[in-house]
């Protein structure tokens, strides 16, 4: 059941928790109100099961919240989507949070906006490209702001054609990555809840996996 709402005159975000267990709705509201209060105020309404509407009084506050994400509550990622006046809430599908992540391995001479866009568009919904250029060559990398589908495993990296024939492996690190299961690489669940692991009782948490903590970066 979704409430009838009139978002006219407000800059709105719609939000839900990915794979939530029981949680205190009032605590969530107070936490987000404190973190997102902004310059011009914020109102919060529950508009459906595990769905909340955040109404800002200006677009600057709304965009600041999006750019500082992804956000977590009780170790669960918050799925956010901009909602415009013409948006039908019943048709919203929240499964593509945006992450900043570093793309390591691109040679210095290829640190170009065009290259960043080719890589980003191959991964997800590209929103922004930036460059981090340190003093040493090994510190140079492309930083991408991309919406990724949390229903699929995280991308560890990709092969990228450099020049006419040479392919190189690009390694990805995600900023503010929430907990994810190292066996399947999916966000939002643990060993017990994983649908992709058949022998759960015999799984060794210390075993080598394709995924790991090395994919997480606090900030770039």
How many of the other CB atoms lie within 10 Å of CB of 57? 16
| pLDDT confidence tier of residue 116, bands split at 50, 70 and 90 | very high
Q: Which of 97, 220, 101 is nearest to 170 (CA)?
A: 101
Q: Which of 9-23, 93-107, 123-137, 143-157 is most confident?
A: 143-157
How far apart are alpha carbons 141 and 27 in whole angstroms?
Answer: 39
Residue 207 has pLDDT above 70, yes or no: no
Instruction: For CATH 3.30.70.330, list the domain ranges present in the chain.
Output: 11-91
pLDDT digits (tens, 9 = 90+) for 13-58: 777 777 666 788 899 889 998 998 778 888 888 887 788 888 888 8
Residue 138 has pLDDT above 90, yes or no: no
How far apart are alpha carbons 56 and 13 in whole angstroms?
Answer: 8
Is 11-91 assigned to CATH 3.30.70.120? no
Q: Which residue has the higher pLDDT, 82 or 165?
A: 82
Q: What is the DSSP letter of 90?
A: G
pLDDT score at 1:
35
How far apart are alpha carbons 37 and 56 in whole angstroms?
Answer: 9
Q: Which stretches does DSSP call E strand in 42-199? A: 42-48, 51-56, 72-73, 76-83, 98-104, 125-132, 141-147, 157-162, 166-175
Alpha helices by DSSP H, 75-112: none
The single residue listed with the structure tokens 């992804």 is: 70
Q: Which of 13-17, 84-88, 129-133, 171-175 is most confident?
A: 171-175
| pLDDT confidence tier of residue 186, bands split at 50, 70 and 90 | confident
Is 98-217 assigned to CATH 3.30.70? yes
Q: Is 52 in contact with 14 (CB distance < 8 Å)? A: yes
pLDDT score at 68:
87
Helices and strands in the chain: count of H runs, count of E runs: 3, 11
pLDDT digits (tens, 9 = 90+) for 53-105: 888 888 889 888 988 888 988 878 888 888 776 667 666 778 888 999 898 98
Residue 3 has pLDDT above 60, yes or no: no
| pLDDT confidence tier of residue 4, bands split at 50, 70 and 90 | very low
How far apart are alpha carbons 175 and 219 in whole angstroms?
Answer: 6
How many of the other CB atoms lie within 10 Å of CB of 143? 17
């Amino acid at each position: 059941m979704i409430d009838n709402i009139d978002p006219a005159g407000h800059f709105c975000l719609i939000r839900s928790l990915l794979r939530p267990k029981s949680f205190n709705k009032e605590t969530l509201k107070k936490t987000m109100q404190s973190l997102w209060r902004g310059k011009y105020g914020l109102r919060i309404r529950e508009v459906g099961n595990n769905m909340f509407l955040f109404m800002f009084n200006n677009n600057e506050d709304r965009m600041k919240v999006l750019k500082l994400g992804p956000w977590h509550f009780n170790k669960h990622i918050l799925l956010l989507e901009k909602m415009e006046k013409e948006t039908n809430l019943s048709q919203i599908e929240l499964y593509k949070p945006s992450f900043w992540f570093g793309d390591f391995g691109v040679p210095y001479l290829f640190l170009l906006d065009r290259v960043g866009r080719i890589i980003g568009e191959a991964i997800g919904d590209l929103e922004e490209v930036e460059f981090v250029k340190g003093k040493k060559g090994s510190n140079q990398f492309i930083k991408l702001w991309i919406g990724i589908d949390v229903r699929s495993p995280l991308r560890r990296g990709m092969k990228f054609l450099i020049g006419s024939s040479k392919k190189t492996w690009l390694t990805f690190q995600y900023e503010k990555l929430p907990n994810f299961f190292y066996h399947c690489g999916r966000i939002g669940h643990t060993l017990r809840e994983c649908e992709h692991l058949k022998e759960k009782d015999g799984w060794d948490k210390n075993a080598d996996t394709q995924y790991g903590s090395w994919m997480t970066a606090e900030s770039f």
